[in-house]
Amino acid sequence: MGKIMLEVKDLKTKYVTRFKENVFAVDGVSLEIEEGKSLGVAGESGCGKSTLALSLMGYYFAPLHYISGDIIIDGKNISGMKPDDVRKNILGTEVAYIPQAAMNALNPTQKVIRFIEDVIHAHDKSVSKKDIFDMARKRFEILGLPQEVLNRYSVELSGGMKQRTVIAISTILSPKVLIADEPSSALDVTSQKMVIKMMRDLMDKGYIKSMIFITHELPLLYNVTDHIMVMYAGQIVERGTARDMVFDPVHPYSKGLMGSIIVPEEGTRDVKLEAIPGTPPNLKNPPAGCRFAARCKYVIPNCSLGERSKRIFDDNRMHLCIHSVEFLKETYAKEGIGIAALSSAKAKAEKSQKSQKSEKSQKLEQSENLEENEKSSEKTQENASKKSNENESGNEV
């Protein structure tokens, strides 16, 4: 096991509405990220992903409020620090955040270099503008951004260039943890690829030590992150490696999410996508017991009694459910849902394809035999004709 770069223990945060109502958006979240690793966070809208991202920075402002828990970055506990201390000593250097709709975060009346100057001067006002420009130019060149971008306004940049510029600005001080909230949303496929490559380069070249990647695009998480955790109603319901989470999810909610993936493979035409019925609970008054119980088809009376305990299995995988792993896997195998159904359909398609190839091979062989017979017949006729001609020539003599 590598060095733990980020450790979160039982983190709880809430929103307080103008009517003084509490909305428990992050409730008892725990996680670990090793140096050089990336963690994906998945879940439907409103499950608490973005709130978790804001909470992990340790910088709280109304209506978001800290309740309890520990946030430890490279051995330093930043929980409960004063906002000014967090802003000066933590943000940018220990942890950096790329918000949703980051393309709209740049003031159109300022040049890109001014944003970088603000970031650096917030930590050290003694750095000259010339030194800042040289540092920014080198970083931009390494990340594949032309230095001309530094003297441009945001309105002069394309959507993909804006997003990459925001990422470069956010990581200019080489933070230990980068939190990216939907960094590739609203981009075309080509721009998405460039943004993802840029973030991987940041890790490979050591400018960031670890990364949390939040997105709705589950196939993207599989290709970008090392581990994935699934959030539902402010809690982590399952965590595992990217491969295990996509191809072998255990929690019923995770299974429903993965079953909604459309995979462009042969045999998927006959596979019906599984929809998750119902809506998430109101986090002003979260239900007792399992928060997914009202939408789960495997619910039993005990699901609504008390808090669910985490089940740890298979090399630190975790799921939050009253049912055992064995029961759930057996049930999924019988029902043939999600990825299992896809695998079955794909196997049928491959079998059908092999059958078609076999038929085609037989037809080809028959055709070749027929052609060979025709050639043999023609040759026989040719020999007979030649012999007949020779006999006629002999008689004339």
Burial class (CB in 10 A: 0-12, 13-18, 19+), 212: buried
Same domain (yes/no): 13, 26:
yes
Residue 386, in any domain of the structure: no
**Of 13, 25, 20, 22, nearest in space to 291 by CA:** 25
Query: What CATH number is attached to the domain comprising 70?
Result: 3.40.50.300
**Of 219, 243, 241, 220, nearest in space to 229 by CA:** 241
In the predicted structure, residue 306 carries a pLDDT above the cut 80: no
Return the beta strands (E) in 1-120 as ranges: 4-16, 22-34, 38-42, 64-73, 76-77, 95-98
Using CA atoms, how far residue 271 sits from 251, 266, 275, 341, 343, in Å, is 21, 10, 13, 7, 10
In the predicted structure, residue 54 carries a pLDDT above the cut 80: yes
Residue 108, in any domain of the structure: yes
In the predicted structure, residue 31 carries a pLDDT above the cut 90: yes
Q: What percent of the chain has pLDDT over 90?
A: 41
pLDDT-based confidence at residue 384 (cuts at 50, 70, 90): low
In the predicted structure, residue 38 carries a pLDDT above the cut 70: yes
Same domain (yes/no): 34, 174:
yes
Residues 199-236: tens digit of each pLDDT: 888 888 889 999 999 988 777 888 889 999 999 999 99
Same domain (yes/no): 59, 83:
yes
pLDDT greater at residue 184 or residue 321: 321
Residue 167, in any domain of the structure: yes
Three-class DSSP category at 281: coil
Residue at a domain's end among 247, 264, 282: 247
Same domain (yes/no): 104, 171:
yes
Joined tokens for residue 79: 């929980």
Same domain (yes/no): 243, 233:
yes
Query: How many CB atoms are located within 10 Å of the residue 208 CB?
Result: 23
pLDDT-based confidence at residue 349 (cuts at 50, 70, 90): very low
- Name beta bridge partners: 70: 9
Residue 393, in any domain of the structure: no
How much is the average pLDDT of 170-194? 86
Up-side HSE of residue 83: CA atoms within 13 Å toward CB?
A: 8
Same domain (yes/no): 225, 291:
no
Residue 389, in any domain of the structure: no
Residue 385 confidence (pLDDT): 60
Residue at a domain's end among 193, 224, 247: 247
pLDDT greater at residue 365 or residue 176: 176
How much is the average pLDDT of 53-73? 93
Residue 129, in any domain of the structure: yes
Q: What is the Cα–Cα distance from 94 to 86, expressed in whole angstroms?
A: 10
Range of the domain at 353: 249-379
Instruction: Tell me the range of 176-190, 231-245, 264-278 where mean pLDDT is highest.
Output: 231-245
pTM (predicted TM-score)? 0.80
Mean of the per-residue pLDDT values of the chain: 83
Q: What is the Cα–Cα distance from 327 to 32, expressed in whole angstroms?
A: 28
Same domain (yes/no): 138, 263:
no
**Of 232, 244, 245, nearest in space to 292 by CA:** 232
Q: Which amino acid is at 305?
A: L
Three-class DSSP category at 223: helix
Structural domain tally of the chain? 2
Joined tokens for residue 105: 């975060």
Residue at a domain's end among 209, 224, 247: 247
Query: Is residue 100 within 8 Å of residue 41, measured between CB atoms?
Result: no
Same domain (yes/no): 258, 194:
no
Residue 397 confidence (pLDDT): 43
Query: Is residue 65 within 8 Å of residue 13, measured between CB atoms?
Result: yes
Q: What is the Cα–Cα distance from 396 to 285, expressed in whole angstroms?
A: 117
Residues 104-146: tens digit of each pLDDT: 778 899 999 999 999 999 888 899 999 999 999 988 888 888 9
Residue 194, in any domain of the structure: yes
Q: What is the CA radius of gyration of the chain?
A: 31
Using CA atoms, how far residue 213 sits from 16, 175, 207, 361, 392, in Å, is 26, 15, 16, 49, 92
Same domain (yes/no): 369, 348:
yes
In the predicted structure, residue 237 carries a pLDDT above the cut 80: yes
In the predicted structure, residue 85 carries a pLDDT above the cut 70: yes
Joined tokens for residue 390: 């020779």
Same domain (yes/no): 53, 186:
yes
Lateral strand order in the sheet of 210-214: 95-98, 177-181, 210-214, 38-42, 227-232, 235-241, 317-320, 310-313
Query: How many CB atoms are located within 10 Å of the residue 239 CB?
Result: 26
Same domain (yes/no): 221, 254:
no
Same domain (yes/no): 161, 34:
yes
Residue 396, in any domain of the structure: no
